[in-house]
């Protein structure tokens, strides 16, 4: 097993700045979804989020092994940020006349990632990147070429790129990568909390140009409560458990577990955040009325996707408890008709389902309400 060439570090402020640029893509994806609540719009968002998250994850793995602690590395990170900025700016028209910018930004992000890993990642990661790098280059090239072609070809090439990324971890010796659990968990946790901030931005965007009324204020507070409870679901003491669980996995299997838990499962978590943010935006804009079926579905369905993805994340890392979260995902879908009656009812139902679920979890663990920081005894999944 290759040993890390540099000591493990906590997340740096430069990485946090990088994440702020990345999360702009989440803002843009939310806008795309909110403006096109159709299966076509959902497919666009899922495809773009999938390929974007692949390269974001690549940078999380990169800075886990290569600290951005000298001017050359920081400059290359800046170039990578520029690539992500180009991707984000292109997202609203990525399947239109801005496809070329999406593809070009993506190619730049990929090239910087591969170059830095090979140059400074250490012997083991460099060997792995000689195999992984060409496959990343293939997917980035497919996205770049697709950006210049008509939309029918673009769909085909971008789906092909996503499929290449899907199989890549199973065709390469990713066990060569050394995972520092503390840094890895913290980095992904920061992205989740910054992305949840998108739900708060959605409240402001939804209320733009509206006269502030008690109903709009109530809907805004309920939207804030949903975001808060989503934060509680992910964190609430379990970020520490996730770090310990990842550290407990044998080093040779840790990289694959990281792909499953912090790759695939986190795509679902972020997709859920995007959908909920779009739903909150629509609810604020219709505070005194009802939501359409699509609007009510994106709110409740997004929360269900978030819950199911969290269940998958916990099962991979063997973090208890999952049964209440799986049940809550089913219950929240059943609240769609309430949103169609009134947006405020859809949000109130979401808050109620999450709060009751968290209360029942605490009761099952023998804890006082909200006393999650004191979890010490093992519990059944």
In a domain, 339, yes or no: yes
Residue 65 sits in the same domain as residue 194: no
In a domain, 381, yes or no: no
Last residue of a domain, one of 159, 176, 193: 176
The pLDDT score that the predictor gives to residue 5 is: 38
The pLDDT score that the predictor gives to residue 111 is: 92
pLDDT, tens only, 181-202: 888 899 999 999 989 987 788 8
327: which 2 tokens? 């049940």
Last residue of a domain, one of 149, 176, 203: 176
- Least Cα distance to 201 among 219, 218, 223 occurs for 223
Q: How many CB atoms are located within 10 Å of the residue 218 CB? A: 14
In a domain, 309, yes or no: yes
Residue 166 sits in the same domain as residue 230: no
The pLDDT score that the predictor gives to residue 172 is: 75
Residue 340 sits in the same domain as residue 217: yes
Residue 139 sits in the same domain as residue 198: no
Helix (H, G, I), strand (E, B) or coil at 209: coil
56: which 2 tokens? 């974001």
274: which 2 tokens? 């995007």
In a domain, 56, yes or no: yes
- Whole-angstrom distance, CA of residue 225 vs CA of residue 231: 10
Low pLDDT (below 50) residues in the chain? 1-8, 373-381
To the nearest 10 degrees (0 to 180), the angle between helices 343-364 and 293-317 is 20
The pLDDT score that the predictor gives to residue 139 is: 96
What is the residue range of 282's domain? 181-374
- Whole-angstrom distance, CA of residue 311 vs CA of residue 304: 11
Q: Quick one: CA torsion of 234, 334, 336, 353, rounded to 10 degrees? A: -40
In a domain, 380, yes or no: no
- Stated as kind and residue range, the H or E segment containing 278 is helix 265-285
Residue 185 sits in the same domain as residue 84: no
In a domain, 196, yes or no: yes
Residue 278 sits in the same domain as residue 355: yes
Residue 167 sits in the same domain as residue 241: no
Last residue of a domain, one of 120, 153, 176: 176
In a domain, 335, yes or no: yes
The pLDDT score that the predictor gives to residue 370 is: 53
Q: How many domains does the chain have?
A: 2
Residue 141 sits in the same domain as residue 59: yes
In a domain, 1, yes or no: no
Residue 167 sits in the same domain as residue 45: yes
Residue 135 sits in the same domain as residue 45: yes
- Check: CB of residue 63 under 8 Å from CB of residue 73: no
CA-derived radius of gyration, the chain: 21
Residue 196 sits in the same domain as residue 159: no
245: which 2 tokens? 């669980």
Residue 349 sits in the same domain as residue 203: yes
Q: What does the chain come to in residues?
A: 381
């Amino acid at each position: 097993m290759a040993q890390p060439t540099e000591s493990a570090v906590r997340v740096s402020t430069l990485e946090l700045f990088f994440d702020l640029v990345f999360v702009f893509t989440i803002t843009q994806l939310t806008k795309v979804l909110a403006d096109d609540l159709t299966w076509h719009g959902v497919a666009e968002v899922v495809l773009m989020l999938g390929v974007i998250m692949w390269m974001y994850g690549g940078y999380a793995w990169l800075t886990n092994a290569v600290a951005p602690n000298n001017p050359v590395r920081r400059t290359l990170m800046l170039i990578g940020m520029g690539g992500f900025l180009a991707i984000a700016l292109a997202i609203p028209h990525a399947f239109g006349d801005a496809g070329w910018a999406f593809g070009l930004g993506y190619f730049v992000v990929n090239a910087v990632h591969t170059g830095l890993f090979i140059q400074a990642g250490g012997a083991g990661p460099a060997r792995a990147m000689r195999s992984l790098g060409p496959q990343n280059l293939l997917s980035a090239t497919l996205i770049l070429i697709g950006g210049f072609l008509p939309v029918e070809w673009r769909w085909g090439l971008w789906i092909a790129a996503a499929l290449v990324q899907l199989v890549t971890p199973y065709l390469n010796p990713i066990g060569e990568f050394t995972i520092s659990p503390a840094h890895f968990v913290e980095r992904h946790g920061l992205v989740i909390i910054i992305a949840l901030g998108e739900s708060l931005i959605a409240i402001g965007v939804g209320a733009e140009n509206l006269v502030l009324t008690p109903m709009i204020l109530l809907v805004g507070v309920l939207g804030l409560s949903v975001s808060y409870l989503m934060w509680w679901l992910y964190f609430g003491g379990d970020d520490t458990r996730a770090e310990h669980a990842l550290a407990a996995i044998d080093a040779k299997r840790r990289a694959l577990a990281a792909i499953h838990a912090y790759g695939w499962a986190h795509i679902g978590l972020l997709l859920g955040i995007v959908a909920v943010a779009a739903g909150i935006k629509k609810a604020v804009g219709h505070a005194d009325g009802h939501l359409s079926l699509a609007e009510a579905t994106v709110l409740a369905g997004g929360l269900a996707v978030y819950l199911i993805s969290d269940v998958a994340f916990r099962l991979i890392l063997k973090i208890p408890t999952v049964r209440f979260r799986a049940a809550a995902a089913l219950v929240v879908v059943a609240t769609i008709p309430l949103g169609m009656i009134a947006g405020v009812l859809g949000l109130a139902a979401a808050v109620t389902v999450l709060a009751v679920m968290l209360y029942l979890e605490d009761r099952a663990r023998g804890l006082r309400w909200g006393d999650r920081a004191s979890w010490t005894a093992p519990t059944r999944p």
